[in-house]
Copies of this chain bind each other. A is one copy, B any other.
Amino acid sequence: MDDQNVISVIIVEDDNEIRQLMTFLIEKTNGFNCLASFSDCENALQPIIDLQPDVVLMDIELPGISGIQGILGLKEKVKNTDFIMLTIRDDDDSIFNSLKAGASGYILKDTAPAKILEAIVEVNQGGSPMTGSIARRITESFQPLGNSILSERENEVLTDLCKGMNYREIGEKHFISGHTVRTHIKTIYSKLHVHSRAEAVRKAIDQRLI
């Protein structure tokens, strides 16, 4: 078999049964090569750096260093390796923290073996394999929430606040006095439970209010 067409894989998964099944699946399938498998991040880090696999299948919940922390440490050192999270967790924090850490794929452990192999191929071809519902949650994360507790005027002011405009500038833009702008900002701070522009900007962006 031509090594150039073989996708090399390392597995990090603490459940012995799943890890052995995955290892077996990848070892025995043409076009895939399982370089190694580990039950924790600590022991996996150095081999991943040394072996530079094409793809790492990474569990999130691991004893010691989590899969997410593991990727954070590895990302700079293995530029050509793609990470797929293979996990039972599909909560927002797990998904988005994985993506922020540098994962390119996110599939659940109950995925059919054939689909897992497909995901490995897809990520290796520059894609981002994930289940439909997770993809939807990611696309929806770009949409403003909108169901804001802020009034329309307050939203306008918050938008300008995030641009770094001061009281006077915001007031002139909307033909109201700087005093009124201040009152609006005070209300905004109170509603968002913040005490400064910096916090307000951060919260506005994080919660997609603007």
| A residues adjacent to B (C-beta < 8 A) | 75-76, 96, 99-105, 122, 125-133, 135-136, 138-140, 142-144, 146, 161-164, 194-202, 205-206
Q: Given contacts A102-B143, A198-B164, are A127 and B132 in contact (CB under 8 A)?
A: yes
- Are B194 and A164 in contact, CB atoms less than 8 angstroms apart? yes
Q: List, in ascending order, chain B residues with CB within 8 A of A76's CB.
A: 146
Oligomeric state, in copies: 2
Indicate which residue in B127, B135, B163, B206 contacts A133 across the interface (CB closer than 8 Å).
B127
Q: A184 → chain B, closest Cβ, in Å?
A: 15
Q: Given contacts A143-B102, A164-B199, A201-B202, are A126 and B136 in contact (CB under 8 A)?
A: yes
Q: Given contacts A126-B132, A133-B127, A138-B128, are A198 and B201 in contact (CB under 8 A)?
A: yes
- Are A99 and B198 in contact, CB atoms less than 8 angstroms apart? no
